[in-house]
Amino acid sequence: MFKKIVYGFLLILLALSVYLYISVKQPYGIIALGFVLAGLLSLALLKIKWLKVGLVVVFSSVGLYAVTEGCYFMLETNFKRKKFNIETAVHFEKNSFKDALAKSKKENKYIFVDFYTGWCTPCLHMVQHVFTDDQVGDAMNETFVNLKYDAEKGEGVELAKRYNVRGYPTCLVLDSEGNVVEKVGGNLVPRKDDLIAIPKNINVIDCYITA
């Protein structure tokens, strides 16, 4: 009876681990999966009772901890995601990337792309305190077709892979063909002054191209 209860507990953890592995772009799922499978194998294969009990307790405990942390992370991220959907001074397009490229070409504008994730605190700070600034909005709306993508949702997943996005926030300036012209802020989180200065930098680039 006790063995069946343990099996049932581990199978529930296994199902949650698989769900986390599929749903969360963080290592919680794969860590939990590894320890839960190790626990199931220990329960099924080991013959020495004290060793079996010890390993099952250790593996299932670590698996449970990873699942708990993963579920908490997922719920917190989903809650934070809602905070990104606020009105900003920078006008971000709602259309697809393909449509943005077409608009960029038609209006002779560059494209500004902000890649973020729901769990990224500096990304949220940018949305709430930088993109809401009127000076930033005036500078960027005049020069760019502006886009923002959650790199773990929808079209943002493929675009983040395409542009080899590794950290967040990552802000890129693209031409109308989708080629990278500039990475804004380098490896630092872009500030208000960085964003206001982008149009000036773009004008310099245009001068070099024209020359």
> What are the pLDDT digits (tens) for 87-127?
999 999 988 999 999 999 999 999 999 999 999 999 999 99
Spatial contact of 39 and 63, defined as CB atoms under 8 Å apart: yes
Q: Which residues contact 39 (CB under 8 A, 6 or more apart)?
A: 10, 13, 55, 56, 59, 60, 63
Instruction: Supply the pLDDT for residue 202.
Output: 65
Q: Which of 112, 117, 101 is nearest to 173 (CA)?
A: 112
The pLDDT of residue 151 is 93
Please report which confidence band the pLDDT of residue 207 belongs to, taking 50, 70 and 90 as the band edges.
very low
Mapped onto helix, strand or coil, the DSSP state of residue 11 is helix
Structure-block tokens of residue 174 = 């693209």
